[in-house]
Amino acid sequence: MKILILHGPNLNMLGRREKEHYGSGDQEDLLRLLSDRFPDFRFDLFQSNHEGELVDRIHQAVDQEWDGVIVNFGGLTHTSVALRDALSLMPQDRIEVHLSNIHAREPFRHTSLTGGVCRGMISGFGFFGYVMAVEAMSQKR
C-alpha cells in the first residue's frame, strides 16, 4: 500500500511544542514508527504551514496512485473550507488523525470542517492514531 500523510501548520514543530498534547516525537519518528510497523507499505509525508500549498498537494494527489490519505491539518482543521473542498475531490480513502483529543481541548477545536469528508476520524492517541488509521485502510482493501 502507498499512503500519503498530509500535515498542516506547526506540525513541523512536533517534539518541540506542547509535548503534553503532542508528545515528544517528531515527524521523522512518526515515519520510522509507521515504516517499522508496516514494512511493506510506502509512506510519504508532506507538511506545510500554508493552506494553499496543502490544497495544491491535494490536487496533485487526486490523480496519483495512493491507496489512502491520512490528514492532520492542525489548526486548519477547524477553519478551512478550502481544504475540505479539496479533500472532497479525492477518490482515495481518507482518514483524519489528531494527536490530542480535540474534544477535550478548547471549544474552538471541537469542530472539524475537514473530518466530514473523511471516512473517519481518530483523535487523542498520539502517534498510535496513525497506526490505527493505516490498519483501517489496510482492512478496507
pLDDT, one tens digit per residue, over 27-56 is 999 999 999 999 999 999 999 999 999 999
Q: What is the structure's pLDDT at 94?
A: 98
21 is catalytic: no
Catalytic residue among 98, 103, 110, 130: 98
Q: What is the structure's pLDDT at 24?
A: 72
With cell 491535494, the residue in question is 58
61 CB contacts (<8 Å, ≥6 apart)?
4, 69, 90, 92
Q: How far apart are CA 47 and CA 8, in angstroms?
A: 6
Catalogue all structural domains in the chain, each as residue range(s) with its CATH number: 2-140 (3.40.50.9100)
110 is catalytic: no
Counting residues of the chain whose pLDDT is more than 90, the rounded percentage is 78
Catalytic residue among 7, 21, 22, 110: 22
Q: How far apart are CA 127 and CA 13, in angstroms?
A: 14
Is the pLDDT at 140 greater than 80, yes or no?
no
Q: How far apart are CA 122 and CA 139, in angstroms?
A: 16
120 CB contacts (<8 Å, ≥6 apart)?
95, 96, 136
Q: What is the structure's pLDDT at 102?
A: 81
Counting residues of the chain whose pLDDT is more than 70, the rounded percentage is 91
CB 7, CB 27: distance < 8 Å: yes
Q: What is the structure's pLDDT at 103?
A: 78
Q: Nearest to residue 140, comparing CAs of 44, 40, 68, 42? A: 68
More confident residue, 124 or 103: 124
More confident residue, 87 or 102: 87
131 CB contacts (<8 Å, ≥6 apart)?
33, 34, 37
Is the pLDDT at 18 greater than 70, yes or no?
no
Q: Nearest to residue 70, comparing CAs of 45, 103, 38? A: 45
